Structure 1
Amino acid sequence: MEEYMGGISMFAGSFAPKGFMMCDGRPLQVQNYQALFSLLGTTYGGNGQTTFRVPNLTGRTPIGAGRGTGRTSRELGETGGAEQVTLTERELPAHGHEARSDLPVSRSLGNTGAPSGNRLARSDDVDIYAESTGGQMAVETTIGDAGGSAPHDNMPPYLAINYVIAVRGTYPQRP
């Protein structure tokens, strides 16, 4: 079966077979590829007078054009996505960070101003530490911001392979 002109195939070789070109975004002269230009136009670039481009699938994953149920509409030739992303605070799920600690305290009146080795105590005056043992006081606090905002990889597992476009072949009939 002969390929349709403009059809794209995966090819595991390191070259484009006869009648095909790599889908690498290269510019072509309209006068040399008039039939292919009539199919692609300037969808993938070029000035439309003397040049047009084949699709550039180098480092890209193709997706279907159009709008599927519950999907975002994608125009033929549209590109998007990023290999790395940096999430913003707005993109993170709402969450909090808590820290808990037990702080030794005393029920006695404070009898020293030195905190080292002593416990927080009641104060009727200035001395707020006591040498005697007492209970524990729960302390709750909120931790500040964390993270470095560095971009992270956004790529699923992949296998690099060549995409080729048929520049010769059967001209597809329109319905």
Structure 2
Amino acid sequence: MDFYLGTIFPFAGSFAPVNTQQCLGQAVNTQQYQALWAVTAGAFGGGQSSPTFNLPDLRGRVMVGTGSSPYTSTTLNPGNSGGTQFTTINGSNLPAHTHAASFQSGSVPFNATVTVPLNPAVGTSNSPSAIPAVLGGQLLTEPGLGVTLDGPFIPASSLPTPPTGSSLTGALSTQGTVSGGPTGASIAVSAGGGATGPTPLNNLQPYQSLFFFIFMLGYFPSRD
């Protein structure tokens, strides 16, 4: 069969048709295939000054048209190749975005430890005094502290006089409340923020592999 030399075609057979070679990117002799070199002009490697030139390499590749692409703003010349089978996503590929967040009010239990200084003077009463009990500038009976004074109380002069500078330390268990109405907010994530997985993504579309051959001999195409 005769075709224009340089024609590439897929073939479902398991052998090379006459006057063809498989497109494996291999080097062929320039003098032996001068007409084919004149057609390809060494676009795939090698040239007239070299003893060899290369055929197209279509192993695991798809063919695309040459010229300026209106879709990618890329100019492709004969013999150009590109693309990658796997792509790893990194932080710079992540766009800026925001997440809404809401917060609710509620009660929070907590424990407090207090230290009460002791006066070395002897007690004179079995009942709490009408004078307010003050600790750290706040009334011990202040409702916000959650503390109340209740008997029974130690009778007057029933204990020895404590040394000057003594104090009474104990644990006070109470419950406080963190109050506030429900509210909302937006958390902004800048471009490039976040983490990505280490596994590369496979870029291959569904495919079916065939042999691709090029005519090494045949009709020399006339220029249009």
Q: Give the alignment partner of residue 130 of structure 1, picking from 175, 192, 206.
A: 175
Where does residue 222 of structure 2 map in the other structure? 173
Once the two structures are aligned, what percentage of the paired residues are identical?
A: 32
* Structure of greater relative contact order (alpha carbons < 8 Å, 6+ residues apart): 2
| Aligned partner of 1:77 among 76, 79, 82 | 79
d(CA) in 2 for partners of 1:30 and 1:102?
A: 80
Task: Quote the Cα distance in structure 2 between the aligned partners of 1:151 and 1:140.
Answer: 35
Q: CA–CA distance in 2 between the matches of 1:84 and 1:21? A: 29
Partners of 1:135 and 1:94 in 2: how far apart?
31
Return closer, same or farther for 1:113/1:56 CA change in 2, 3 Å cut-off: farther
- 1:113 deviates by 4.3
Of stretches 141-150 and 53-62 in structure 1, the one that deviates more from structure 2 is 141-150
Change (3 A) 1:111 1:95: closer
Q: Give the Cα–Cα distance (whole angstroms) in 2 for the partners of residues 52 and 25 of structure 1.
A: 9
Q: Residues 23 and 58 of structure 1 are in contact (CA less than 8 Å); yes or no, is this contact kept in structure 2?
A: yes
Q: SS state of the match for residue 112, structure 1? A: strand
Contact 1:23–1:57 at 8 Å: present in 2 too?
A: yes
- Cα 1:148/1:97, change in 2 over 3 Å: farther
Q: 1:65 aligned to 2:66?
A: yes
**Equivalents in 2 of 1:45, 1:55: separation in Å?**
9
Does the 8 A contact of 2:41 with 2:47 survive in 1? Answer: no
Q: Tell me the TM-score normalised to structure 1 length.
A: 0.74
- Partner SS, residue 61 of structure 1: coil
Unmatched segments (≥5 aa) in structure 2: 114-143, 146-171
For the pair 1:161 / 2:206, whether they are aligned, the reply is no
Shift of 1:46: 2.1
1:83/1:154 contact within 8 Å kept: yes
Larger C-alpha radius of gyration, 1 or 2? 2
- Contact 1:105–1:136 (Cα < 8 Å) also in 2: no
Q: In the superposition, relative to structure 1, how do residues 53 and 113 fare at CA in structure 2: closer, same or farther (>3 Å)?
A: farther
RMSD of equivalent CA atoms: 3.5
Deviations 1:31-78 (A, max 9, x none): 111111111122101254200010001011110011244542111100
Q: CA offsets per residue over residues 124-154 of structure 1, 9 Å max, x none?
A: xxx9x72789888668796983322431101
1:89 equivalent to 2:84? Answer no
Amino acid at match of 1:46: G
Query: Which residues of structure 1 form unaligned runs of 5+?
Result: 115-121
State the TM-score, normalized to the length of structure 2.
0.59
Q: Is the 8 A contact 1:65 1:75 kept in 2?
A: yes
- After the TM superposition, which residues 7-86 of structure 1 pair with which residues of structure 2 at under 5 Å, given as runs? 7-48=7-48, 49-70=50-71, 71-86=73-88
The separation in 2 between residues aligned to 1:16 and 1:111, in whole angstroms, is 84
- Local SS of the residue matching 2:39: helix
Partner SS, residue 28 of structure 2: strand
Answering whether residue 55 of structure 2 is matched by residue 6 of structure 1, we say: no
